[in-house]
Amino acid sequence: MEFLDRYQQIVAEAITKYTFKDKPAELYDPMNYIISHGGKRLRPIMVLMACDLFGGDLRQAIKPALAIEFFHNFTLIHDDIMDEAPLRRNKPTIHTLHGINVGILSGDGLMLKAYKFFEDLEPEIFKACIRIFTHTGLLLCEGQQYDINFETQEDVTYDDYIRMITYKTGVLSASSFEIGALIARANFKDAKAIFNFGKHIGIAFQIMDDYLDVFGDQAQFGKKHAGDIYENKKTILYLLAREHATEEERKELDHWYGKKTDNIDKVYGVEKIFRRTKVDEKALRLIETHNEIGQSYLAKINIPEDKKKPFAELANYLLRRES
């Protein structure tokens, strides 16, 4: 997808331009470390794509796009601390290299730097973008807390799970598109349509993340295999397995998810139940369902289809990935 390469190049050049040179280096070097790892940089690309879709000036969207990327990486640093994750994008996590205190501070620094990157916007657009950005951050914190609660909560429902991943993942993609649309001065109806497109693609993306944690190519995925099982994460795979398991299998799931352990038997036991209940197939069907809902919102935007084509291509690319 050439259009994706073009946006990635714009983001990469902007990140190089705004590399942190502040002191103390012990704070800013870890911030540069995680930003420089790249990843797909999807969320800043979403800002640029939406700005382009509605005929905006990309130059006005570049710094807000970086704000989204900085904020996203702030959440990853803190998420890795909470999960005690050793790897991120196949690289050692910041707290593994520098300790938890530096991880917390560098994450906070990225969040505050993100806010500064909205400062060049005109007052009306600035106010709208900051409102969305701040609300998104609060929802993300709520989603993270729900995720933590689920580790010890016995009666997690499908609706609970969807709310959690909507807050934790879906709204950041949604808001990235909406901020790009607002910078281009899209009307309210279209801005909300692109927001809902992003929300459902984000939900599908997180379900795919849950799927890849167990069924993906770990060399490409860049995270510890079955980390969600070790951490007792009640992902869509767990919920689907419980729904379709036998009584004996549910008792086994309760046994393993009642303790945190690195025992490899736990992974083998849970994976065996996942495979027997065919949760991989069921999860992939849910991914497609949310993709279709997202596409239906995209279709509502009154813009020529050829301009919307990259959004459909992006969604299909994200939901057929192996990492």
3-state SS assignment for residue 193: helix
Per the domain annotation, does 157 fall within a domain?
A: yes
Which token pair is 40? 């797909």
- Judging by DSSP bridges, how do beta strands 91-92 and 87-88 pair with one another? antiparallel
pLDDT tens digits for range 178-192: 999 999 999 999 999
Q: How many CB atoms lie within 10 A of CB 308?
A: 17
Q: What is the pLDDT of residue 218?
A: 67
The total number of structural domains in the chain stands at 2
Residues 46 and 94 in one domain: yes
Q: What is the CATH number of the domain that holds 199?
A: 1.10.600.10
Q: Are residues 11 and 128 in the same domain?
A: yes
Structure tokens at 176: 């990235």
Please check whether residues 156 and 259 belong to one and the same domain. Answer: no
* Domain membership flag for residue 314: no
Structural domain containing residue 143: 1-184
Contact 129, 118 (CB under 8 A): yes
What is the average pLDDT value for the chain, to the nearest integer?
Answer: 94
pLDDT for residue 263 = 86
Q: Are residues 154 and 288 in the same domain?
A: no
CA pair distance 208, 63, nearest whole angstrom: 29
Of 129, 161, 184, the last residue of a domain is: 184
Q: What is the pTM of this model?
A: 0.91
Residue ranges of the chain whose pLDDT lies below 50: none
* 202 and 287 both lie in a single domain: yes
What is the per-residue pLDDT across 226-258, written as a single tens digit (0 to 9) for each? 989 998 999 999 999 999 999 999 999 999 998
- Quick one: 102 and 243 in the same domain? no
